[in-house]
Structure 1
Amino acid sequence: MSDLEYHVPVLRDAVLGALRPAPGERAIDLTLGGGGHARAMGERLGPQGTLIGLDQDPDAIEQAARTLAGLECKVLVVRCNFAQFDGGLRSLGIASPAEEPGGGVDVMLADLGVSSHQLDTSSRGFSFSQDGPLDMRMSKEGPDALALILDTTPHELARILREGGEVPNAMRIALALKTEAAAGRLQRTSQLAALCERLMPPRHKGKGKKIHPATTVFQALRIAVNQELEVLDTLLERAKQWMRPGGRLGIISFHSLEDRRVKQAFKKMEGYCICPPKLPICCCGWTSFGESASKRPIVASDKELEENPRARSAKLRVFRFL
């Protein structure tokens, strides 16, 4: 399977333009996937540069090894969730800049989307358009989506649906999911999709386009199964400790819950004085780590959308460190 077949990297040119990986630098792709973004960055690093790739999916690690073959730069790959990226770096003998001169990284990228390979592999259970087990685990470890439905209370499940997918009538949907799962009638993605169609009307999204009723339910369950928002919060809190002076952090998000967190975290890292205006000097301990590359996120061009419709929801935000 080629990288193109595995996963088409979204916003590839925008990533290169905004993160500007340069010869001799150290770059890390926290969500390696098929290796498309990593390959593009690695080609800019040259023989003195280092490319590090992390992913929790063993399928992705296997594919990326093939995609990254032949690069001039040093290539290091670690299997772990990107929330543990600091542990992954330490396992390679890399410390943070504060701990060791020359430590840390110049470029850091995280693509928060589900890969095309994961969506198109029915056995992974990510897509309502294909029949497969109700799984949705990115790492193939831990409780799957069916276990989540069975083991959570109706109120907790309703909260997951409401916060992770803005699902209308979340409690009604949660009770229905619990009932069907307990009766053994919710083993497959097709069963969940059919249940959503019975319970929820299709939603409209401009120009008469309909959104399948299962879209937001699948999203909410996937986010919960993989603890995606908690993992993102951990990354956003720890990233600044690992960036070298002048470093660039890029995050590609695919829905408002992620993008809002990234935007707020970047604004916090920009820093701002909260002292009363009448004070002659700052006393609040204000510190700025750098600035966002732009006020608005970078989105796919019309040309890219024609070639890769899955890029339509992608938003890239970049933070440049001092």
Structure 2
Amino acid sequence: MTHCVRRSFRYRFYPTSEQVEHLSRTFGCVRLVYNMALEARIKAHQKGRSMAYKESSAALTAWKREDDFSFLNEVSCVPLQQALRHLQTAFLNYSAKRAGHPRFKSRKRSRASAEYTRSAFRYADGRLSLAKLKEPLRVVWSRPLPEGVEPSTVTVSRDPAGRWFVSLLCEIPVELMAPTDKSVGLDAGITALVTTSAGEKVCNPRHERSDRRRLLKAQRVLSRREPGSAGHAEARLRLARVHARIADRRRDFLHKLTTRLVRENQAVVIEDLNVAGMVRNHRLARAITDAALAGDAVHAGVQVRLVRT
């Protein structure tokens, strides 16, 4: 039995200097449009009226005609429209009490990304081209896309370590795994990352602790650099790469662990942990974050149940 799911395939790519300049400008324009639209919505709310996506889109057209924002015409209009749609979704989630009030995006702390829909990219024969870019992206296809699948959206992003990624959202058929009569309960911990109801203990690899000396050295070097200098930017990038190494190793370990548990069991019961409250204990905060305690549900025909303790 199969069913269709939407799945994102993430790849690394290496842009040319011209692509770096254009995509960086696109990221800045996306952030600016999001913040301007958010400010306009807040002002409209203060005056006692609401502002929907249609009005935000009309405001974007007016901003492009102004001399101060004429540079918005230099990038593709699709990522800018997608930023407005994301803002609309954020307000819908806020109205439904599924999330907090949307906040302004920061140049230093927010994720640098831009989303392109089908009208703004072309994918054919393993070559991916984006609107207003002369050359296709040099993507490292670490694994092929499923045969016959066409991406619906493409998201380009840059992480704090300076690495560039492209994510292709596709709708693919997934075959449900054969049912089994096995079920397992999981108890998350610090010394043992997971203890199963069958008595198996999965040791905590402690990725942050294994790289702590390298991390502390990079932090000390950064603290000695003058903010705003080229040396400070280089040290910040070196520190970000250490954090990225820790995060990548942790993510890889957790994905392999959860995949094995899902394949072996029909039902998985885990604790509904209040991680935000647990990290307030300053003596355990580092160990808790290093263990990455959180729920990871994998949809493959397996029941995942949360139990409050």
TM score, norm. by length of structure 1: 0.23
Higher strand residue share: 2
